[in-house]
Structure 1
Amino acid sequence: MAWTRTYEEAEPQRVNRWLAQSGVCSRREAEALIAAGQVSIDGETVSDPGRKIEHGQTLTLDDGAQARLEGQMTVIINKPVGYVSAQPEPGQIPAARLLTRQGLWGDPAEIPAADRSLAPVGRLDLDSRGLLILSEDGVVTKAVIGPDSQMEKEYLVRVRGDIGEPVLDRLRHGLALDGRQLKPAKVTLAGDQRLRFILTEGRNRQIRRMCDLVGLSIIDLYRLRIGPLKVGDLPEGRWRLITAREREALITPGFSPKPVRRR
């Protein structure tokens, strides 16, 4: 069924911008749909990528556009230590190598071809483990790591060293990296020599560098959540597709997905 929505804003807006703000697709994807003749306003095919939609007009994406957008793949992996998130250096193994039929967990799914452009949405270091998102969906990518994203990323970290209150205070409020102050972090004790970090930014190797600055050394770093998406009971080294509800939760503030359990 074609996607249809009426524009209710008072001021006209470019079609590609409105579709991106509505969480339908990225601006670039909207422009590609327009170029393919798959977008219409009040029954008239849109041919100009700069076309604006006005109050009361109805925009429609045809069935082909819907199929094209729904075919964009997003997967999660419970990444083990020893795999890199993105382009490997010589001798390194990319996490995408785990996307095999044997590694698939749960419901049957298409196995992505080797040349499919599934990029990491929030990297995870070689020596870190846990939740890793790989996606070709521009809307998901923008929601998670776009410049305006405030999405939380949660980690459990086992450390060696003194983790008294002064150290916790510095981790929460008092650190800078590369000459720039870090955003406030939620850092709490999570057991013997274990810390829970909740961040809303993703500087390069941020937690490891934060711990170095306060004299802690990291033994294990595990990411268990990105926004509403949790690694759950996905076994280490396995992967699965995200569900439609999980995608909606990532791109729509306040929307809560149902937990995914293996059948």
Structure 2
Amino acid sequence: MESNNTNSINLNKFISSTGMCSRREAEKLILQGRVTLNNRPTELGNRVFDGDIVKVDGRLLKPKPKTLYIALNKPIGIVCTTDSKERKNIVKFVGYPERLFPIGRLDKPSEGLIFLTNDGDIVNKILRAGNNHEKEYIVTVDKSITDTFINKMSNGIPILGTVTQKCKVEKVADKVFKIVLTQGLNRQIRRMCEYLDYEVTKLVRTRIMNIELGQMQPGDWRELTSEEMEKINKMIATSSKTEEASTVIQKPKKQVSKKKEGPVKNDFNKKSASFRKKSSSSKKNISSFGRKKKRF
């Protein structure tokens, strides 16, 4: 019984998708009689359906794992690391059955939107500072916000041996402001505020590129929809993956001994393919990992 071709993939494309070789080289393998499909000889044009067994020289080929893109509202206290020694690391907190790693980071005392994925290529493209991908934050400080504060924050603050790029800063309330960054310096917003003698009491990232935090509560996470990923891929289509993209353009310097430079390190819509929420008990005790999440 034959299946619909829309649920299948061309044999040479399947072989290539496993990372073994290119499609053209896969065609050669097929023509040389080195490929079997469900233990039968193959020819060009054969199609592979779910559950089919493809072997090259008797060796079973397995498709690459599905690429995963997850949006998490990181709670305060969770650490953006994959280090298993860290009890409150972000990967353990999410508890996804497949290996993931965070795109960028949020400080332990900060909360809000962060992506996790198994796609290393997209990580590089999003993180490079020179690619100008926006991240939006709502920040609460310890005293009243003045026009001078807004003006200075917008036009650049000297931290970590450089001056921060100009950015959008808007007063939201007496002690609350919104800031949109395209940089990712270490503890950037906190350091900028400290320079102006302000202390951050709460910091929430509400947006990354086209994705907003939306109705997600701390501890909630969901998979990004195909529509959201389509927009992200368009936004990063021209993004550089090279190291040069993350450096600040400076005037040429004379060749002298290398000096140590300051370290430069580099929200969600209601519609979703998959949306998971931490149970109420886990919200009360954020260190309780591994509890089942409700799906709705």
TM-score by length of 2: 0.60
Match of 2:104 in 1: 122
CA contact (8 A) 1:86 1:95 kept: yes
Helix, strand or coil for the counterpart of 2:189? helix
Q: Which structure 2 residue ranges, 5 or more long, are not aligned?
A: 1-7, 11-15, 30-46, 49-53, 55-60, 238-267, 276-295
- Is 1:138–2:120 an aligned residue pair? yes
Helix, strand or coil for the counterpart of 1:82? coil
Alpha-carbon shift at residue 41 of structure 1 (Å): 8.6
Provide the rounded CA distance (Å) in 1 between the counterparts of 2:156 and 2:114.
Answer: 28
Change (3 A) 1:232 1:40: farther
Alpha-carbon shift at residue 181 of structure 1 (Å): 1.7
Provide the rounded CA distance (Å) in 1 between the counterparts of 2:218 and 2:81.
Answer: 18
Of 71, 74, 83 in structure 1, the residue corresponding to residue 69 of structure 2 is: 74
Alpha-carbon shift at residue 140 of structure 1 (Å): 2.4
Match of 2:97 in 1: 112
CA contact (8 A) 2:156 2:165 kept: no
Change (3 A) 1:33 1:254: closer
Match of 1:10 in 2: none
Match of 1:260 in 2: 271
Provide the rounded CA distance (Å) in 1 between the counterparts of 2:230 and 2:86.
Answer: 37
How many residues align? The count is: 204
CA contact (8 A) 2:167 2:179 kept: yes
Match of 1:179 in 2: 161
CA contact (8 A) 1:99 1:112 kept: no
Alpha-carbon shift at residue 143 of structure 1 (Å): 3.1
Provide the rounded CA distance (Å) in 2 between the counterparts of 1:81 and 1:144.
Answer: 23
Match of 1:86 in 2: 81
Sequence identity (%): 26
Provide the rounded CA distance (Å) in 2 between the counterparts of 1:147 and 1:197.
Answer: 16
Select the structure with the greater relative contact order (CA < 8 A; seq sep ≥ 6): 1
CA deviation vs aligned residue, 1:99-157 (integer Å, no higher than 9, x gap) = 24xxxxxxxxxx424xx1x2211200000001111111134213321354211000000
Provide the rounded CA distance (Å) in 2 between the counterparts of 1:78 and 1:193.
Answer: 23
Q: Which amino acid in 2 is paired with 1:78?
A: N
Of 161, 165, 168 in structure 1, the residue corresponding to residue 147 of structure 2 is: 165
Q: Which structure 1 residue ranges, 5 or more long, are not aligned?
A: 4-31, 46-61, 101-110
Change (3 A) 1:128 1:179: same
Q: Which has the larger radius of gyration?
A: 2
TM-score by length of 1: 0.67
